[in-house]
Chains A and B, each alone.
Chain A
Amino acid sequence: MKPFHDEKFSSIEVVQREFKQAGYICSRQIATTVYLAYHLCKPILVEGPAGVGKTELAKTAAFFLGVPLIRLQCYEGLDESKALYEWKYGKQLLYTQLLRDKLDQIIKGENGLDGSIQKLHEYDDIFFSMDFLEPRPLLKAIQEKKGAVLLIDEVDKSDDEFEAFLLEVLSDFQVSIPELGTIAAVSKPFVFLTSNNTRELSEALKRRCLHLYIPFPDQKLEREIVRTKVPDISERLETQLVAFIHEVRKLDIKKLPSISESIDWARVLMILHVDKLNYDLIHDTLNTFVKFEEDVKLVKEQLRSMAEKALNVTAT
């Protein structure tokens, strides 16, 4: 990965600017971490509330670098055979059947058992070669010649065992396949791990990564993000919308609306051809960003005062 994209990572400012052009507004913190991760060849562990753009960051990085994005979605019970490689058992069986005659021919000349085995050894490991190997995301990522962005999504959902298994890949960028030996990365991939903090990740994993926490953005940054994603939005609407979302985030509800929800809401309002918010409108479109029945009830209770605050933001 490293030597191919040096010019794209010449400075933190460049990263920030280029990401913006790719449609991802990142804070200085994010840009710095990405910059460091590239130069130190380290994976980034991204944490933060749902919907603040953790996965999007990896996607944008892949787009920006012009390399494939290889994604590994983690879940409970994910194991090596799904993450790393799998032998093509069917193909192996089929080939042994098909080649039975050929094998006979090979052994024909030899009389003794020893001789036959010797003969077979010359064709050693035919069935355990790369041709019979089905690479899964991790193996695929380290085999990419020009590097790749490897996104290991929601790593906290996987089991402890899988996490331990990741360590080899993340620190040395190599994988061990017993039948073939160790396969080292052709070009080190740019690795993003995301976590929603449903469980504490192990120290060992954290030690190998740079850590990035993406919080909810402040109003200014969020306005910029909304504007980038929904370019047709009027300035007044955008300000009111972001202000209202920030009011909602102050509440103690089950699922706080995240950036993706702000964007969804903005899109909904654009379809409705709205250029400024009002109480009824908020009331009617509430369900685009508050997703639980209890939450909706709670927000509705305080809707008056919150709406007033948010609507007045533009007035001042």
Chain B
Amino acid sequence: MDRILENFILALRGSGVRVSVAESIDAMHVTDLIGYGDRGILKNALSAALAKTLTEKEIFHMTFDRFFSTDVPFDHAYDIPDAMKGEPDEEIPFVAQMILSGNMAGLAVAMSQAALSVDITGIQFFTQKGLYVRRLMQQMGLDELNDYIRELRANGDDESTRIANMLEEGREDLTDRARKFVERQYDLYAGSATEGMIESYLRNARLTNIEQHHYQQIRVIIRKMVKNLRDLHTRRKKGAKRGQLDFKKTMRSNIAYQGLPFDTRWKMKKIDRPKIMVICDVSRSVSTIVRFFLLILYSLNELIEKIDTFIFCSNLVEASSIFDKYDLEEAVVRLQTGTGLDIWMGRTDYGQSLRDFWEGWSGNLTNKTTVIILGDARSNFGEPEVGILKRMQERSKRIIWLNPETPSLWGSGDSEMKRYLPFCHIARECNTLNHLERAIHALL
């Protein structure tokens, strides 16, 4: 594949567009077909072959413009002493010749060639910038240039000093350009490494410590996570023994029995999807982590057909409608503040909330229901109503309690976790994305 295209695809991957090998081969055919002649057409054509969603298209356009922009301009030339013009001197190093003769195009070419030989596409961290600038300069013949300047200085006469000054100026200028060049390359290629690192960091970081500005990235990770989980789990379909007779299928499967409908096939398919009820604490004590709970709930809601969501603080309300009505940002804010819901954001009261749940929705609990409770079980020393949780446990398939506190803190102070614990099928510490993922895996 030609080098430019290869580097461009590298840059695209760096910016977060997933480009498979098959797609890069397509891109190659595309460039074979239309060539590099027309920028607009090339852009359209490559975007059709490489970027496959709307967001990817946006990234693609940005990267394309950056990648195929003109290089750091080598425009201004130096005052060249007449003595230096004419036949190039064998003694003078090549870079010095180019600087002195003002051969800016030559310098530009030399720099991109140097970039190829030091393989600048491997740059990953911003700390490597200095290193690459140095390598680049060395490749271009910095050492020879320095030697030559030293030699000129040693000569001592006016003309030599003047040339030496000029060369030094040229060297500074060149270093500057090299630095800019490396900056640009870093922007293009380093994205992938850093993105991967951020993702692994975010997955293991405590959710309470994650800054607001990583919020978007978390969203992406969660979506990815939920999608993977869903792909794993939605295929559990089995044929049901009722519904409409699927005549064709029955016939096909009964050819062996002379077409007698011996083994009947039905049109109904039963999809074995878990029925989930989520009860989420939105009080202040868990406010930092609740955002992520809600985030993951929202994603689950988009992907799994049926989830009933309840939120509580001093009392408990159903909140499923919020997920359907609003987009993510707004839904999370609304749920966190209880806007538009009949919820009272006073002291957290687990007892009252469980009572509310039992009175209002216990009828919906069946032996297929999984109840997830997200909360720290800190009930401000109110009556915890452990009995209700026990009854809930008897009625439902499973109760999963996800607690943002570490198990050593369970039961300390006003935490009622120890008392709830016997009635939970699974009780887990949950304060990183990896914890969440494992919990949801267990759920499905």
A interface, CB within 8 angstroms of B: 12, 28-29, 32-33, 36-37, 39-40, 42, 44-45, 47, 81, 86-87, 89, 93, 160, 200, 203, 206-213
Query: Complex formed: what's the CA distance from A93 to B255 in Å?
Result: 10
A5 to chain B, nearest CB (A): 16
Chain B residues within 8 Å of A210, by CB: 26, 48-49
Q: List residues of chain A with CB within 8 A of the CB of B45.
A: 32-33, 36
B406 CB-CB contact with A under 8 Å: no
Contact A28 B41 (CB under 8 A): yes
Known: A32-B48, A89-B251, A212-B48. Is A207-B22 also a contact (CB below 8 A)?
yes
- Contact between B248 and A29 (Cβ–Cβ < 8 Å)? no
- Asked whether A28 and B44 contact (CB < 8 A) given A36-B30, A211-B51, A213-B54, the answer is yes
**B31 → A minimal CB distance (Å):** 11
Indicate if the CB atoms of A33 and B44 lie closer than 8 Å: yes
A-B contact count (CB 8 A): 64
Q: Quick one: CB contact mask for B247-259 with A, threshold 8 Å, 1 for yes?
A: 0100110000001
Contact with B52, one of A33, A81, A206 (Cβ below 8 angstroms): A206
A203 to B20, CA, bound (A): 10
- The reply to whether A89 and B22 form a contact with Cβ atoms under 8 Å apart is no
Q: A81-B248, A89-B248, A207-B23 are in contact. Are A40 and B44 (CB under 8 A)?
A: no
In the assembly, what is the distance between CA of A207 and CA of B26, in Å? 10
Would you call B52 and A211 a contact (CB within 8 A)?
yes
- Taken residue by residue from 48 to 65, chain B's Cβ proximity to chain A (1 for < 8 Å, 0 otherwise) reads as 110111100100000000
Contacts of A81 in B (CB 8 A): 248
Contact partner, A213, options B23, B41, B57, Cβ 8 Å: B57
Q: Nearest chain-A residue to B223 (Cβ)?
A: A200
Nearest CB of chain A from residue B214's CB, rounded to whole Å: 23
Q: For residue A28, which residues in chain B have a CB less than 8 angstroms away from its CB?
A: 40-41, 44
Question: What is the bound-complex CA distance between A25 and B252, given in angstroms?
Answer: 48
Query: Given contacts A36-B33, A40-B33, A203-B18, is CB(A211)–CB(B48) below 8 Å?
Result: yes
The answer on a CB contact under 8 Å between A207 and B259 is no
Is B29 engaged at the interface, CB distance under 8 Å to the other chain? yes
A40 and B40 contact, CB distance less than 8 A = no
Q: What are 14 inter-chain pairs, A to B, with CB distance below 8 A?
A: A12-B34, A33-B45, A36-B34, A36-B48, A40-B33, A42-B26, A89-B252, A160-B234, A203-B20, A207-B52, A209-B52, A211-B48, A211-B52, A211-B57
User: In the complex, what residues of B have CB within 8 A of residue A87's CB?
Assistant: 252
* Chain A residue contacts of B18, Cβ below 8 A: 203
Contacts of A212 in B (CB 8 A): 48
Q: A36-B45, A210-B48, A211-B52 are in contact. List 20 more A-B contacts (CB 8 A).
A: A28-B40, A28-B44, A32-B41, A32-B48, A33-B45, A44-B48, A47-B54, A86-B248, A89-B248, A89-B251, A93-B259, A200-B227, A207-B20, A208-B22, A211-B47, A211-B49, A211-B51, A211-B57, A213-B54, A213-B57
Q: How far is the CA of A207 from the CA of B252 in the complex (A)?
A: 35
Which of A45, A47, A93, A210 counts the most chain B CB atoms within 10 A?
A210
Distance from B226 Cβ to chain A, minimum over Cβ atoms (Å): 12
Distance in angstroms from B255 CB to nearest chain A CB is: 9
With a cutoff of 8 Å between Cβ atoms, the chain A residues found around residue B47 in the complex are: 29, 211
User: Do B44 and A29 touch (CB < 8 A)?
Assistant: yes
Q: Cβ of B248: which chain A residues have Cβ within 8 Å of it?
A: 81, 86, 89
For residue A90, which residue of chain B has the nearest CB?
B251
A40 near B51 with CB under 8 A, answer no
For the complex of A and B, the 9 pairs showing the least CB-CB separation, nearest first, are A32-B44, A206-B52, A211-B52, A33-B48, A210-B48, A29-B44, A32-B45, A207-B20, A40-B29
Chain A min CB distance to B414 (Å): 44
Would B33 and A39 count as touching, CB distance under 8 A? yes
Q: Please, how many angstroms separate the alpha-carbon atoms of A208 and B26 in the complex? A: 9
Of A36, A39, A44, chain B has the most CB atoms within 10 Å of the CB of A36
Residues of A within 8 A of B252 (CB): 87, 89
The distance from the CB of B322 to the nearest CB of chain A, in whole angstroms, is 18
Chain A contacts for B40, CB-based, 8 A: 28
- Chain B residues whose C-beta falls within 8 Å of the C-beta of A42 in the assembled complex: 26
CB nearest to B249 among chain A residues: A81
How far is A39 from B29 in the complex, measured between Cα atoms in Å?
9
Q: How far is the CA of A44 from the CA of B49 in the complex (A)?
A: 10
- Shortest Cβ distance from B405 into chain A, in angstroms? 36
- Which residues of A sit under 8 angstroms from B23, Cβ to Cβ? 207
Decide if B52 touches A45 in the complex (CB within 8 Å). Answer: yes
Chain B residues with Cβ under 8 A from A32's Cβ? 34, 41, 44-45, 48
Among residues 8 to 56 in chain B, which have CB atoms less than 8 Å away from a CB atom of chain A?
18, 20, 22-23, 26, 29-30, 33-34, 40-41, 44-45, 47-49, 51-54
**How many angstroms from the CA of A207 to the CA of B54 in the assembled complex?**
15
In whole angstroms, how far apart are the Cα atoms of A33 and B46 in the complex?
A: 9
- A93 CA to B34 CA, complexed, in Å: 55
Q: Once the chains bind, are A40 and B41 in contact (CB under 8 Å)?
A: no
| Contact status A36-B57, CB under 8 Å | no
B51: A residues at CB distance < 8 A: 211
Within 8 A of A (CB), among B256-271: 259
CA distance A209 to B29 in the complex (A): 14
Docked Cα-Cα span, A160 to B23, in Å, equals: 22
Residues of the B chain whose Cβ atoms lie less than 8 Å from the Cβ of A213: 54, 57
Q: Are B49 and A36 in contact (CB under 8 A)?
A: yes
Residue of A32, A40, A87, A213 with most partner-chain B CB within 10 A: A32
Measured CB to CB, the nearest residue on chain B to A32 is B44
Q: For the complex, give the distance between the alpha carbons of A28 and B43 in Å.
A: 11
How many angstroms from the CA of A45 to the CA of B54 in the assembled complex?
12
Q: Roughly how many angstroms separate A213 CA and B57 CA in the complex, as a whole number?
A: 9
Q: Say how far A98's CB is from chain B's closest CB, in angstroms.
A: 15
**Closest A-chain residue to B269, C-beta based?**
A77
Contacts of B53 in A (CB 8 A): 206, 211
From A81, which residue of chain B is reached at the shortest CB distance? B248
Asked if A12 meets B48 with Cβ closer than 8 Å, knowing A81-B248, A207-B20, A213-B54, the reply is no
Residue of A nearest to B42 (CB): A32
